[in-house]
A and B are shown apart, each in its own frame.
Chain A
Amino acid sequence: MDIAAPHSQFELKAGTFTLPLLRLLDTNMDAMAEQLSDTVEQAENFFHNTPVVIDLNDISGITVEFPMLVGLIRGHGMIPVGVRGGTTAQHEAAEMMGLAILADNRQSSRTISRHKSDSKSGSRSNSQSDAQSNVVPIKPEALTTTLVNKPIRSGQRIYAQGGDLVILGQVSSGAELMADGHIHVYAPLRGRALAGVKGNENARIFCRDLQAELISIAGHYRTSENIDTRLRDQPVQIYLEDHILRIEIF
């Protein structure tokens, strides 16, 4: 039976992403936990919500406690998306934890280049291996702005990936805002605000009433005790100048 397709809801396309690889050298989860904490502590913003791929090439065939590993990685704010290398048994264990099995580099780049020369309609005839090599979250490529018109409560976390974040409600202490671009808050900002979390030093924070617990631009941060009390409750903009965080009253 043939069903006439209405206008299509999506297009399947290829996209290449450079992702950090977590290359496992050993499978001792306690030691892993320790090293992860140390690493993440040094550059918390970098790892925040970053998708990572687990590389199994060096421990091929060795049993990995995937539930533990995935928990550890997530616990440090990263998003484990898949594994690379390893054996079928390892792949099965990884799949149990919702991880994708990613083809190795060489194969995937070949797939991508073929795609580039494909016509648009070619995306319909994707083969199984194409689909597999691109199992990575697809994010909008253009800069997007996220607008939230509700209060952000303690414990809530908003991340504007790939763009700016505009908040119209108040941000409670214990709440956390993050954006790859700028952050605007048109109400009291009492929580944490981290702009340019992927390292954009041109990102800025604008807020109507500064009472923040922590502000950060591209990893240069300041906690509330280090913010001049004269700036409290003021409308300010926060930016980096020669790697120094500046807070300026509007």
Chain B
Amino acid sequence: MARIIVITSGKGGVGKTTTSSALAMGLALRGHRTAVIDFDVGLRNLDLVMGCERRVVYDFVNVLNSEANLTQALIKDKRCENLFILPASQTRDKSSLKREGVGRVMEELSRGFDYVVCDSPAGIEHGAMMAMYYADDAIIVTNPEISSVRDSDRMLGILAGKSRRAETAATPIREYLLLSRYDPERVQRGDMMSVDDVQEILSLELLGVVPESKAVLTASNAGTPIILDKESDAGQAYSDVVKRYLGERLPHRFIETTKKGLLNRLFGE
């Protein structure tokens, strides 16, 4: 039985797709059979970030409508044989996402994989609800700013009530926080929320802090999950995230400012 992980946030543009691709690749590289699904029907971009957009024949909606079977629709990653991508459709509308159909696909994936990573669309509408409904674990991607934190808080409330685990009174979904696009210098200047500020509101298990990094855009333009860029701090942060998710205990990195300027050294503590 696979563990189903939803990558969610409420707010758009916070790094859900970046995280989904990095986590899925990271888990697969560590030997786990992993499938990553794009729930953003109508706005697909996971396939772009994964670099497989030109190999899409069938998509998630085709499978839901029984126009193709899973084996036909799953795209095998060229870099890692344990990784498969189920792309979203760009042409269909979200109403094809029905709870029963999604459940059927999840069940089938559960049989063949160790992990199923669900990349949620933004918002708290139908698509996002479908992405989280069957989840065992939820990674809440949040940016260090109040609107994102608020939306994450709201999402947590929904997770607590509207998931299969909640409805069947099973063990609740395990919730993790991933703080993304963190800029320690801006935090130090006081114009960005710190990890502590965010945790005061969300108080969740912190899976990792991913720093703001230009390497992320470069990587997604190249169709390479950022975790493969081992030189970049964001790539390293995602490696830590994967290890922590799998149970390793690691100190958090990229939270402190690295380059201390002259003034800082003179006037800092």
Hey, which bits of chain A sit against chain B, CB under 8 A?
150-156, 170, 172-175, 190
Contact = CB atoms under 8 A, between A and B. Distances in A.
A172 B153 contact: yes
B156 interface: yes
B157 A155 contact: yes
A246 B203 CA distance: 31
B160 A174 contact: no
A156 B160 contact: yes
B160 A172 contact: no
B70 interface: no
B203 A151 contact: yes
Q: Which applies to chain A's interface (DSSP): helix, strand, loop or mixed?
A: loop
B160 A154 contact: no
Counting chain B CB atoms within 10 Å of each CB, which of A154, A172, A173, A190 scores highest? A154
Interface string B81-123: 0000000000000000000000000000000000000000000
B160 A155 contact: no
B148 to A, nearest CB: 12
A174 B10 CA distance: 15
Q: Which applies to chain B's interface (DSSP): helix, strand, loop or mixed?
A: helix
B154 interface: yes
B201 interface: yes
A188 to B, nearest CB: 8
Nearest to B153: A154
Contact of B158 (A151, A155, A175): A155
B58 to A, nearest CB: 36
Contacts of B153: 153-154, 172, 174
Given A150-B160, A153-B160, A170 B203 contact: yes
6 A-B pairs with least C-beta separation: A153-B157, A156-B157, A154-B153, A154-B154, A155-B154, A153-B156
Nearest to A150: B160
Counting chain B CB atoms within 10 Å of each CB, which of A155, A170, A172, A174 scores highest? A155
B31 interface: no
Contacts of A172: 153, 157, 201
Nearest to A173: B150
Interface in B202-227: 203
